[in-house]
């Protein structure tokens, strides 16, 4: 408890305490409350937006080199508290400490370093005399105050993905993390201050989405709203933001297909399917959720996945030997369990898992690694996000059929194709409707490349220079170079006026 921030919000460079209803952060391993705070109400959210607006002129006017320097200092600050970040992330989410130490924290720090570089790289068309009578130049400018709402699955990384491109581009931000996982986001804000990022550039408010979050979304002073979370809430937010004409960035749900062609390396596909479906207990919007496997490999694939899933070690999140921790909350575990129950009632069969474990893990929000077969393509478990350690395997006979089934869901965030044939790989990469297509792998991400979806998965890109672009706007400056008062185009307006 002592390492957690003694604050519930972070506004204008200072920790503060909310005045709304009391909220609890619960360790999903023990079910115990590890931190309480008061939610931020409308007046506190308004103060955060005002702090961001007050900080904007100076921050947006800073040179790219100055902003880059501050982000470089932030990377150093975060590195110096990497272990505290990892332990706090694990305590509030239940994710295994190995994942926090080797993925969440270093990935976030690498993102900071990437955007320290991106801050100095402003792309645009070449200036030139496109009209003959003018020189056109493009300016890339920041937007203003950005509001952001992040989910609970990777709290630190999601905060980083939202804050970094926004502030690297010269904006200021007010971010609301998920109400059950605010702690590492507050630690990030504190590190921003220690790194010399001016007060008011990064502000954090906390509280439930329908209250604190919705108040933020509807603030008319926001220039942009960025959101990662469920498709339903994303669309709700889009409606609210539209009323103010607020620019939107939406990174929504996923239901990633995992397509195994008949020439695939079966061992690689089995390992990839288990790692890709169980990472972060499956609470990953790019997790492998639907394995379409050529019928000639199907039985061996199912046997291999079942065998490996049974060897995955569930245990205490803080234990470095643990492979899979609890889900983030009992609510999320129950949501996954009831979705699997409905699938089983509808005819699916669990060849691995399909239930919460008993015995010594009964106090935590655990769910067993689960492989389902015999599900119908149209059923809920194939069509909708489960966001838990659940993989469904379905056979196919023709390449075309495998790809059509992969595309036959509302979502389009990520996908993978498994084959040794370069032509099949290229066809899958081209035809699968997803923002990322992996070939012979599933999950890796990298700061230089975009993450974001198509279809019901939204359209906002996180990471990479594409996300930096989304937090900027371009301005065309068109300068007359003739020094003539009478321009040829005036005749379209008053061709004969001077003769009258």
Catalytic residues: 251, 285
Contact segment (CB under 6 A) with ligand NDP among 134-142, 186-194, 248-256, 318-326 equals 248-256
Number of residues assigned to the chain: 500
CA dihedral 139, 140, 143, 149 (to 10 degrees): 170
**Structure tokens given for 189:** 């804000």
Closest Cα partner for 437 from 421, 456, 453? 453
Q: Strand ranges (DSSP E) for 264-311?
A: 288-294
Q: Which CB, 101 or 333, lies closer to ligand NDP?
A: 333
C-alpha to C-alpha distance for 497 and 276, rounded to whole angstroms:
72
Closest Cα partner for 270 from 398, 340, 371? 371
Residues 6+ apart with CB under 8 A from 164: 71, 111, 112, 114, 115
Contact segment (CB under 6 A) with ligand NDP among 48-56, 58-66, 231-239, 442-450 equals 231-239
C-alpha to C-alpha distance for 280 and 93, rounded to whole angstroms:
9
- Of 184, 228, 277, 289, which lies in the binding site for ligand NDP, with binding defined by CB under 6 A? 228
Q: Strand ranges (DSSP E) for 39-144?
A: 134-142
- Of 28, 96, 200, 213, which lies in the binding site for ligand NDP, with binding defined by CB under 6 A? 213
C-alpha to C-alpha distance for 202 and 369, rounded to whole angstroms:
38
Least distance between ligand NDP and beta carbon 336 (Å): 8
C-alpha to C-alpha distance for 69 and 117, rounded to whole angstroms:
9
Is position 214 an interface residue for ligand NDP (rule: CB under 6 A)? yes
Q: Which CB, 176 or 424, lies closer to ligand NDP?
A: 176
Is position 178 an interface residue for ligand NDP (rule: CB under 6 A)? yes
Cβ(202)–Cβ(150) under 8 Å? no
Q: Which CB, 109 or 339, lies closer to ligand NDP?
A: 339
Contact segment (CB under 6 A) with ligand NDP among 48-56, 226-234, 304-312, 492-500 equals 226-234
Burial class (CB in 10 A: 0-12, 13-18, 19+), 199: middle
Is position 151 an interface residue for ligand NDP (rule: CB under 6 A)? yes
Least distance between ligand NDP and beta carbon 216 (Å): 7
Residues 6+ apart with CB under 8 A from 115: 71, 164, 165, 167, 168, 468
C-alpha to C-alpha distance for 208 and 330, rounded to whole angstroms:
17
Least distance between ligand NDP and beta carbon 434 (Å): 13
- Of 230, 244, 379, 407, which lies in the binding site for ligand NDP, with binding defined by CB under 6 A? 230
Contact segment (CB under 6 A) with ligand NDP among 62-70, 71-79, 224-232, 433-441 equals 224-232
- Of 160, 173, 217, 373, which lies in the binding site for ligand NDP, with binding defined by CB under 6 A? 217
- Of 385, 399, 433, 470, which lies in the binding site for ligand NDP, with binding defined by CB under 6 A? 385
Least distance between ligand NDP and beta carbon 360 (Å): 26
Least distance between ligand NDP and beta carbon 8 (Å): 13
Q: Which of residues 335-364 bind ligand NDP (CB under 6 A)?
A: 335
C-alpha to C-alpha distance for 74 and 266, rounded to whole angstroms:
43
Q: Which CB, 82 or 221, lies closer to ligand NDP?
A: 221
**Strand 414-418 to strand 436-439: parallel, antiparallel, or no bridges (unpaired)?**
parallel
Taking CB atoms, the residue at the shortest distance from ligand NDP is 209
Is position 153 an interface residue for ligand NDP (rule: CB under 6 A)? yes
C-alpha to C-alpha distance for 446 and 451, rounded to whole angstroms:
9
Nearest 5°: the CA angle 463, 469, 471 is: 85
The torsion angles phi and psi of 285, rounded to 5 degrees, stand at -70, -15
Q: Which CB, 134 or 236, lies closer to ligand NDP?
A: 236
Q: How many residues bind ligand NDP (CB under 6 A)?
A: 27
Is position 210 an interface residue for ligand NDP (rule: CB under 6 A)? yes
- Of 134, 140, 194, 236, which lies in the binding site for ligand NDP, with binding defined by CB under 6 A? 236
Q: Which CB, 200 or 213, lies closer to ligand NDP?
A: 213
- Of 252, 287, 414, 456, which lies in the binding site for ligand NDP, with binding defined by CB under 6 A? 252
Q: Which CB, 149 or 192, lies closer to ligand NDP?
A: 149
Cβ(21)–Cβ(40) under 8 Å? no
- Can you say whether residue 15 is alpha, beta or left, with left for phi > 0 and alpha for psi between -120 and 50 degrees? beta
- Of 20, 96, 209, 282, which lies in the binding site for ligand NDP, with binding defined by CB under 6 A? 209
Q: Contact letters (x/-) for ligand NDP, 268-297, by CB under 6 A?
A: -----------------x------------
The torsion angles phi and psi of 208, rounded to 5 degrees, stand at -65, 145
Least distance between ligand NDP and beta carbon 213 (Å): 3
Residues 6+ apart with CB under 8 A from 172: 52, 53, 55, 56, 59, 60, 144, 145, 146, 166, 200, 201, 202, 203
Least distance between ligand NDP and beta carbon 57 (Å): 28
C-alpha to C-alpha distance for 498 and 153, rounded to whole angstroms:
69
Least distance between ligand NDP and beta carbon 178 (Å): 4
Is position 8 an interface residue for ligand NDP (rule: CB under 6 A)? no
Q: Interface residues with ligand NDP (CB under 6 A)?
A: 149-153, 176, 178-179, 208-210, 213-214, 217, 228-230, 233, 236-237, 252-254, 285, 335, 385, 387
């Amino acid at each position: 408890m002592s390492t957690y921030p003694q604050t519930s919000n972070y506004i204008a460079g200072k920790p503060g305490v909310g005045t709304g209803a009391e909220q609890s952060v619960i360790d999903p391993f023990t079910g115990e409350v590890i931190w309480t705070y008061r939610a931020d109400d409308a007046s506190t959210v308004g103060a955060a937006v005002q702090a961001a607006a007050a900080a904007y002129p100076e921050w947006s006017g800073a040179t790219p080199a100055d902003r880059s320097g501050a982000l470089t200092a932030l990377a150093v600050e975060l590195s110096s508290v990497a272990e505290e970040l990892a332990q706090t992330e694990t305590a509030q989410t239940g994710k295994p400490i190995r994942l926090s130490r080797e993925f969440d924290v270093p990935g976030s720090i690498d993102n900071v370093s990437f955007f320290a570089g991106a801050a100095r790289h402003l792309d645009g068309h070449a200036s030139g005399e496109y009209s003959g009578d003018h020189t056109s130049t493009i300016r890339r400018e920041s937007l203003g105050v950005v509001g952001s709402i992040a989910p609970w699955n990777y709290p630190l990384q999601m905060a980083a993905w939202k804050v970094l491109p926004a502030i690297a581009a010269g904006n200021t931000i007010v971010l609301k993390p998920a109400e059950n996982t605010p702690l590492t986001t507050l630690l990030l804000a504190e590190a921003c201050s220690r790194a010399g990022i001016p007060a008011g550039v990064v502000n954090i408010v906390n509280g439930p989405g329908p209250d604190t979050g919705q108040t933020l979304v509807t603030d008319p002073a926001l220039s942009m709203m960025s959101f990662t979370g469920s498709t339903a809430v994303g669309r709700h937010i889009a409606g609210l933001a539209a009323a103010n004409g607020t620019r939107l960035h939406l990174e929504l749900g996923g239901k990633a297909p995992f397509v195994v062609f008949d020439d695939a390396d079966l061992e690689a596909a089995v390992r990839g399917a288990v790692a890709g479906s169980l990472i972060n207990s499956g609470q990953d919007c790019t997790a492998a959720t639907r394995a379409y496997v050529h019928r000639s490999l199907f039985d061996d694939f199912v046997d291999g996945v079942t065998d490996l899933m049974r060897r995955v070690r569930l245990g205490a999140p803080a234990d470095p030997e643990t492979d899979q921790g609890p889900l983030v909350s009992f609510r999320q575990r129950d949501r996954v369990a009831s979705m699997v129950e409905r699938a089983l009632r509808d005819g699916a069969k669990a060849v691995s898992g399909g239930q919460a474990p008993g015995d010594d893990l009964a106090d935590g929000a655990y769910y067993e690694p689960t492989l389902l077969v015999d599900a119908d393509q149209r059923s809920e478990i194939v069509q909708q996000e489960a966001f838990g350690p659940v993989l469904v395997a379905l056979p196919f006979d023709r390449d075309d059929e495998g790809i059509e089934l992969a595309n036959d869901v509302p979502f389009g965030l990520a996908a993978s194709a498994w084959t040794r044939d370069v032509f099949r790989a290229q066809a899958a990469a081209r035809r699968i409707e997803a923002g990322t297509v992996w070939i012979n792998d599933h999950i890796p991400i990298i700061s230089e490349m975009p993450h974001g979806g198509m279809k019901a998965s939204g359209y906002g890109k996180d990471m990479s220079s594409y996300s930096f672009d989304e937090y900027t706007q371009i301005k065309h400056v068109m300068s007359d170079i003739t020094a003539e008062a009478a321009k040829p185009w005036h005749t379209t307006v008053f061709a004969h006026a001077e003769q009258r």
